[in-house]
Structure formats: structure tokens, C-alpha cells
């Protein structure tokens, strides 16, 4: 005790904080645990000795203040110890191992999880911050106390931003709004979230905060009489029905008011005209009965009722929300919940320590938090770098849910705006990868259709289906986006490998040798020369156009593989053309400038990193391609092309009602599909349209053009080749 007295004697604030911490801990920890926490204070105070905050107070005051806020939610002894020591590894010479020796491994891991990465070289500030958050969240996946300590740490930092320069204040506030407040919300810790949002708003926009805060206080006085009248009426109605309930006026968070004004472009008066009340009762049954009384007392406004008890929010929040038309024609928002639901909504995951009850509600919060942490780990595995991880995390932290049903009646929660593809991946990754269509309430619907709450979604799959890159334009969930990207990378890699093998074998056939006849030793030597690790990777590079197949073939057939082959007119092999079938996937692209189809004379052009682009021989880009001798190859159409190809025609038709419909019907009757129609020119007499349609080959296209020429409304028709 004397050592603590010596440490705190020089600063009254420090002494006051330590005494407050001790008194709080004594209320729920045993003597041995309190002693551990006080020993942590002594250790931390000694380590931070001589360090001061910008306000001039000893640095140790900050971790002690953080520990106090955690003690108020009854955090366990190791959590309090970690809170007191959370900055010693970062800001002093104390190591993680030393903490483990002095206390225990659990405390050391908690401190390490909260500690920022000490040295991040060659990274921008954004990358460094992203890496810190990523490290903290991965530690949080092992132990939820990491994020509880970090939120308390961030809250105290926000409360003491006063001495910071404005640019740094704004940067810290922006990070708090982007990451920490949403995490608190996701974990159901609404009390901390509201404090973080208010403090961040004040730090980012001090003048806006001051003006809005003054206006709210002024408006609050004018509203007092109406609030008292409504509250008295509600209490009287509940008392008459013999329902013991607490009724309290609810005031919106100042940041929530600001965001609503900003989003809807409305003045404060329009936001502040809703009078909000909370009713707290004893059980769930009472919640629904009270809801009936409120709807009987005041007329409910259609479409403004939400049942978060039957369908809780993703963070576990439960309550009944209804907007009613009150006296004087003013809207009244009523929230009805049990006392336990209210405690859980304020404390969230921290209720595990605060109430120490093993209720279903408490277990539900734990389960939801753990489920989210599993998703975080999945995101982290798929993310390329820390910035991508943070971008995906932000998407994940701002959900507005819709509830949809599977055909078996299971409920799937999705962010608002989610499409059928998002739903498919939410159910299972394999289902998303194989989906081709869907039914909503038994009606066939396009995959990009946004979902609405209450619908039943049935996914239709096909055995050989695969994700479409266009899906990335309209999916919004992180899980779907990552799964699509990963699958496309895998498909592209496999397709590139297959194409690369065909290209290399094509070259080797001209030299009267097969790939299987080349020795492993020669292939290994070639891989070293080429700077790739495996033959599969080499074949993939060939397929993607990063390495020329004839150069690789030349080096494989040279006596000395180390010889550096250069391509010129004499060394370029006279290989047989590569056969194009149209089924090669993403590594063979048909150029949109000339849209080649089977029957056209074609040429292939290597586009490094993307594979082969096929052009018509008479394409206007042909001359440019031929100049790049190293990048083109001879290709021909295969004899068994069975897919449809896009081509473009330009058609001049009489500008009469139904003309375009007649053209479309004619094309459809000839087993073709119109992909796009663009009006190129138009006057009172003639309309010139550009039509992109699908055909099997030149013969099929010629048949369509002949049939169109026979129509009396068609004046001229030509194929567009560039």
C-alpha cells in the first residue's frame, strides 16, 4: 500500500483515479484479484514513470481511467489488469514476455491484442492503421475482451482529445466513426456507441455540433408540455390495465439527428417533430399486449411497425417499434421491450460480465458475436492486404437487414439491397457458385433482383454453372464478393493453364516432339531460367499471354536450355493454327471492335495478363497487331463450335410504329437473341439502329440478314466490323 501511496502522492488526479478504481473493484472481485489489479497499477505506473499526456497529467492516468470504465461493467481481473497495462508494450521497454512472467499468459495475450504494431516499415499511415485494426480484430477472434478493452481505451481517448491539433482530432474522430462505433454497434454496446458518435461528431465538426446542440436544447424546452401530456396519457392507460411498466421519453443521439438531416436534406424541425417514448415491462408477452394498447390509444401509421423481438437485429437487439399518430397530429415513436432487453441493448456483449446471468439472451449475444468473428476470419483469409480487409470490414459493419426465407422456412438475414446472388452465397458458397436463376414466391426472377423482407427465395442451379464476373457489379455482401472473386481467380487460372498447354503442345508438334517426352530435368532447368516455380504456373503464364509459347518451345528443344532465344522472322515457328471453339472461358476473348464469328478469317493477339484476344483479319486494328510480331499468333475456328457468338448489324428501317418490334420478332424466330439495340440516327422518315445479336456462325448471320431484307420496312442492312 505504501508503494501505491508513493506513486500517487505527487498527483491528486492519479490518487483520485486509483482510489476510485480500488473501490469499484472491491465491490465485485475477491481480495486476491483486487491485489493483482493494484499490482498491475504499480507495474504500469513504474513503466510509464516520466511520461505525460499532452494535458500534463501522468500517462498512467489514462490506463487507470480505462480500467475504471471496465470495472463499472464488472470486467474480470485479467481484463482489468490488461487494461491497466495496455500501453506498456507499445510505449515503454516492457516486453510481452515480461508481462507473462509478472502476471500470466492470458494477460500478456490481451495486452498484445490491444497493442499497435510497433514498427510497420514502408507503409502509408492508412496502411499502418489498417494493419493495426486487422491485428486487433484477429486477436479479438481469440478473446472478446480485446475489443472491450480497446473500445474503453478509444472512449477515454475521445473524451480527452482537447489538447490535440484539429487535423489529428479529425483523423482520430473519422477512424472512430468508421471502425470503432460500428464495432460497438455490431456487438450490441449501444451506450458506448452513442458516446463515441457524439464525441467524434464534436471533434470533426465543432461548429456544427455547437449550433445543433444549442438548437436542440432550445427546441427541447418548447416540446416539454407535449411530452408530459403524452407520457401522462400512456402511464394512465397502462395503470388502468394494471401493467407495472416504466415509461421514459427517448431523445435521439445528436449524431443520429445530424445524419438524418444530412441524408434526407431536412431541417431540425422535421427531425425533431417525432416524440419518442420507451416502455419497459417484465416479459415478452406483456410487450405484445402493451403494443395492442398503444395501437388502441393512438392510431398506428401504416408501414411504420417493426418487430425486433421475433426477428432480432444482427447484433441481438430486441424491441417492438411502432410509430403512432398522437395528439395535436404529432407522430409518436414507441419502443416496447423488457427490462432485460433494455440492459442487453445498452451493454451488448459486455452484459456477460455486467450481469453474470446465464440467460438465453446472454448466450444469444455470445453466439452472435462468435458467429460474426468467424465471418471476420473468413474475410481476413480472402483479403489481399490490410486496406482491402478494412474496406470489406466497413461494408460488413453497416448492415440494414432484410429477412428472407428459404423454401424450407429458414430465415436468412441480409443487408438491405442484397440480391439473389447474395442470398445464394449466404446459404452456401457452393450454392452461389452454381446458381443460374431463382424463383421468388414461385415466380422466375433475374439474379440481380434486390430482395425484400418476407419473400421466399428458391435458387435454381446447374451442374456446370460458374460465377459471372458481372455479378460483382450488383452483389453487396462481403461474403458473396470474396467468394466470386476467389472462384473467378481459380477458374481463370485453370482455363489459362489448359490454354497454355494447348499452345505449347501446338508449337512442340511442329518440332516433332510431345510435352510428355521432355525430361523432368530439362523442364526443371527451364523453370529456373523462366523464373517460375512449377510447370502449371508456366503453362498458366503462357495461357495468360505473359510468356510466348513458341519461345518456351524453342528453349525446351534447345540442347542448352540456358540459351536466351530471341524471336525474329527466321526463328518464329511455322506452327499450325490454334483452334478456337468459343468455350475457352475468360482467357480467350472475342474483340468487340470487330466481333468475329465462326466463318470469319481471324488472328489471335496476346494481351499480357489476360490471354488471347481474337480479331477478324480485316479488322481496322489488324495493322497495329501485325506490327507487334512478338504478340500475335495464327488461330482458326474449330469445326465443333456449339456456342452462340455476338455480332453487330446496322439496319435502316422506316420510322413507323411497330417497325422495331417486327425486326425483333423476325430475329427471334430465326433462333437468335438480341443483346442490345442502340438508335444511331433518326428522323421523321427513317430510323438507323445498331443491333447486337447472337448467331452460331456466318451462315446463320447471312440467313438472318436475308430474311430481314425481305421485310418491306427494311431499307438497308450491313454487318458492322469495326
% of the chain at pLDDT higher than 90: 14
State pTM to two decimals.
Answer: 0.54
Q: What confidence score (pLDDT) does residue 135 get?
A: 62
What is the longest distance spanned by two Cα atoms in the chain? 107
Task: Quote the pLDDT of residue 563.
Answer: 46
Neighbouring residues of 336: CB distance < 8 A, sequence distance ≥ 6: 278, 279, 281, 287, 290, 291, 294, 319, 320, 322
Find which of 121-125, 292-296, 653-657 is predicted with most confidence, using mean pLDDT: 292-296
Long-range contact set of residues 246-251: C-beta below 8 Å, sequence gap at least 24: 246/279, 246/280, 246/339, 247/277, 247/278, 247/279, 247/280, 248/277, 248/278, 248/280, 249/275, 249/276, 249/277, 249/278, 250/276, 250/277, 250/278, 250/333, 250/335, 251/220, 251/276
What's the pLDDT score for residue 161?
86
Given the residues 6, 30, 90, 270, the one annotated as active site: 90
Q: What whole-number distance in Å separates Cα of residue 506 and Cα of residue 280?
A: 78
Residue range 341-397, pLDDT digits in tens: 887 777 666 555 454 544 555 555 556 655 665 665 555 555 555 555 555 555 555
Q: Which residue has the higher pLDDT, 632 or 701?
A: 701
CB 293 within 8 A of CB 237: yes
Going by pLDDT thresholds of 50, 70 and 90, the confidence category of residue 254 is confident
What are the chain's domains? 2-206 (1.10.3210.10), 208-356 (3.30.460.10), 485-637 (no CATH), 645-720 (3.30.70.260)
Residue 584 CB neighbour total at 10 angstroms: 20
CA 342 to chain CA centroid, nearest Å: 29
Q: Rounded CA gap, 50 and 64, in Å? A: 16
Q: Is residue 106 flagged as an active site residue?
A: no
Q: What is d(CA 348, CA 406) in angstroms, rounded to the nearest whole number?
A: 29
Per-residue pLDDT band for 293 (boundaries 50, 70, 90) equals: very high
Q: How far apart are CA 572 and CA 493, in angstroms?
A: 27
- Lookup result for grid cell 460488413: 396
> Region 488-499: what's the mean pLDDT?
68
pLDDT of 555? 67
Q: How much of the chain exceeds pLDDT 70, in percent?
A: 77
- b/e map of 615-625 (b: 16 or more CB within 10 Å)? bbeebebbeeb
Beta strand 645-654 with 611-616 is unpaired
The residue ranking higher by pLDDT, 2 or 142, is 142
Mean pLDDT, rounded, for 495-511: 72
Give per-residue pLDDT as tens, 1-24.
Answer: 455 555 555 578 888 888 999 998
In this predicted model, which residue has the larger pLDDT, 75 or 32?
32
- Pick the catalytic residue: 91, 178, 231, 636? 91
Predicted local distance difference test score (pLDDT) of residue 631: 63
Task: Note if 90 is an active site residue.
Answer: yes
What are the tens digits of pLDDT across the range 61-96?
A: 999 999 998 888 788 888 899 999 988 888 888 888
Q: How confident is the model at residue 273, as a pLDDT?
A: 59
**Residue 630 banded pLDDT, cuts 50, 70, 90:** low
- Nearest 10 degrees: Cα torsion 375, 377, 382, 385: 120
* 623 pLDDT higher than 70: no
Is the pLDDT at 460 greater than 60? The verdict is yes
Task: Please list the residues that pair with 63 across neighbouring strands.
Answer: none
Output the average pLDDT for the chain.
78
Sign of the alpha-carbon torsion through 24, 27, 33, 34: positive
Which of 398-407, 520-529, 618-627, 665-674 shows the lowest mean pLDDT across its residues?
618-627
pLDDT for 568: 44
Task: Determine the Cα–Cα distance for residues 143 and 373; give it in Å rounded to an integer.
Answer: 10
Among 27-41, 365-379, 421-435, which stretch is predicted with the lowest mean pLDDT?
365-379
Amino acid at each position: 500500500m505504501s508503494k501505491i501511496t508513493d506513486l500517487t502522492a505527487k498527483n491528486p488526479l492519479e490518487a483520485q483515479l486509483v482510489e476510485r478504481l480500488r473501490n469499484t473493484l472491491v465491490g465485485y472481485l475477491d481480495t486476491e484479484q483486487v491485489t493483482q489489479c493494484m499490482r498491475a497499477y504499480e507495474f504500469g505506473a513504474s513503466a510509464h514513470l516520466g511520461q505525460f499526456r499532452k494535458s500534463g497529467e501522468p500517462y498512467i492516468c489514462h490506463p487507470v481511467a480505462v480500467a475504471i470504465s471496465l470495472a463499472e461493467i464488472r470486467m474480470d481481473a485479467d481484463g482489468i489488469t490488461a487494461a491497466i497495462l495496455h500501453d506498456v508494450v507499445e510505449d515503454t521497454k516492457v516486453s510481452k514476455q515480461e508481462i507473462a512472467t509478472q502476471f500470466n499468459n492470458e494477460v500478456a495475450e490481451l495486452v498484445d491484442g490491444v497493442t499497435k504494431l510497433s514498427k510497420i516499415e514502408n507503409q502509408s499511415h492508412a496502411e499502418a492503421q489498417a494493419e493495426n485494426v486487422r491485428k486487433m480484430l484477429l486477436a479479438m477472434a481469440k478473446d472478446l475482451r480485446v475489443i472491450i478493452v480497446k473500445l474503453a481505451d478509444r472512449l477515454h481517448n475521445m473524451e480527452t482529445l482537447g489538447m490535440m491539433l484539429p487535423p489529428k482530432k479529425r483523423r482520430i474522430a473519422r477512424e472512430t466513426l468508421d471502425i470503432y462505433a460500428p464495432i460497438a454497434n455490431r456487438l450490441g454496446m449501444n451506450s458506448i456507441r452513442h458516446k463515441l458518435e457524439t464525441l467524434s461528431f464534436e471533434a470533426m465538426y465543432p461548429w456544427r455540433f455547437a449550433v445543433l446542440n444549442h438548437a436542440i436544447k432550445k427546441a427541447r424546452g418548447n416540446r416539454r408540455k407535449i411530452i408530459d401530456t403524452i407520457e401522462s396519457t400512456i402511464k394512465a392507460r397502462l395503470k388502468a390495465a394494471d401493467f407495472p411498466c416504466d415509461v421514459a421519453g427517448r431523445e435521439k443521439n445528436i449524431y443520429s439527428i445530424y445524419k438524418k438531416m444530412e441524408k434526407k436534406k431536412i431541417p431540425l424541425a422535421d427531425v425533431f417533430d417525432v416524440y419518442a417514448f420507451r416502455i419497459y415491462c417484465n416479459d415478452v408477452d406483456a410487450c405484445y399486449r402493451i403494443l395492442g394498447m398503444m395501437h388502441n390509444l393512438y392510431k398506428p401509421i401504416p408501414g411504420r411497425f417493426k418487430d425486433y423481438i421475433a426477428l432480432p437485429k444482427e447484433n441481438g437487439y430486441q424491441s417492438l417499434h411502432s410509430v403512432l399518430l398522437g395528439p395535436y397530429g404529432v407522430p409518436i415513436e414507441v419502443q416496447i421491450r423488457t427490462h432485460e432487453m433494455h440492459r442487453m441493448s445498452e451493454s451488448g456483449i459486455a452484459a456477460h460480465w455486467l450481469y453474470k446471468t446465464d440467460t438465453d439472451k446472454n448466450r444469444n449475444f455470445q453466439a452472435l458475436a462468435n458467429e460474426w468473428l468467424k465471418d471476420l476470419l473468413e474475410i481476413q483469409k480472402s483479403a489481399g492486404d490490410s486496406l482491402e480487409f478494412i474496406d470489406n470490414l466497413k461494408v460488413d459493419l453497416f448492415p440494414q437487414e432484410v429477412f428472407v426465407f428459404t423454401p424450407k422456412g429458414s430465415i436468412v438475414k441480409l443487408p438491405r439491397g442484397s440480391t439473389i446472388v447474395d442470398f445464394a452465397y449466404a446459404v452456401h458458397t457452393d450454392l452461389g457458385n452454381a446458381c443460374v436463376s431463382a424463383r421468388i414466391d414461385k415466380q422466375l426472377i433475374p439474379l440481380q433482383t434486390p430482395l425484400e423482407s418476407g419473400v421466399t427465395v428458391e435458387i435454381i442451379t446447374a451442374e456446370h454453372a460458374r460465377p459471372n464476373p458481372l455479378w460483382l457489379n450488383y452483389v453487396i455482401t462481403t461474403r458473396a464478393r470474396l467468394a466470386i472473386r476467389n472462384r473467378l481467380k481459380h477458374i481463370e487460372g485453370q482455363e489459362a493453364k489448359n490454354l497454355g498447354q494447348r499452345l505449347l503442345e501446338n508449337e512442340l508438334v511442329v518440332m516433332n516432339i510431345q510435352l510428355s517426352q521432355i525430361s523432368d530435368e530439362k523442364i526443371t532447368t527451364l523453370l529456373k531460367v523462366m523464373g517460375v516455380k512449377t510447370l502449371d504456373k508456366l503453362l498458366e503464364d503462357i495461357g495468360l499471354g505473359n510468356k510466348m509459347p513458341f519461345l518456351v518451345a524453342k528453349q525446351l528443344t534447345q540442347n542448352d536450355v540456358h540459351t536466351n532465344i530471341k524471336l525474329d522472322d527466321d526463328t518464329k515457328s511455322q506452327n499450325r493454327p490454334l483452334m478456337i471453339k468459343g468455350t475457352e472461358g475468360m482467357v480467350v476473348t472475342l474483340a468487340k471492335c470487330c466481333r468475329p464469328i465462326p466463318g470469319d478469317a481471324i488472328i489471335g493477339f496476346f494481351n499480357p495478363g489476360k490471354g488471347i484476344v481474337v480479331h477478324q483479319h480485316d479488322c481496322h486494328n489488324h495493322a497495329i497487331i501485325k506490327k507487334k510480331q512478338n504478340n500475335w499468333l495464327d488461330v482458326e475456328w474449330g469445326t465443333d463450335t456449339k456456342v452462340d457468338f455476338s455480332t453487330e448489324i446496322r439496319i435502316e428501317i422506316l420510322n413507323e410504329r411497330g417497325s422495331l418490334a417486327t425486326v425483333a420478332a423476325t430475329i427471334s424466330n430465326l433462333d437468335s437473341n438480341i443483346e442490345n439495340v442502340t438508335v444511331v440516327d433518326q428522323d421523321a422518315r427513317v430510323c438507323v439502329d445498331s443491333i447486337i445479336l447472337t448467331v452460331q456462325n456466318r451462315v446463320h448471320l447471312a440467313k438472318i440478314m436475308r430474311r430481314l431484307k425481305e421485310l418491306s420496312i427494311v431499307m438497308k442492312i450491313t454487318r458492322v466490323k469495326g
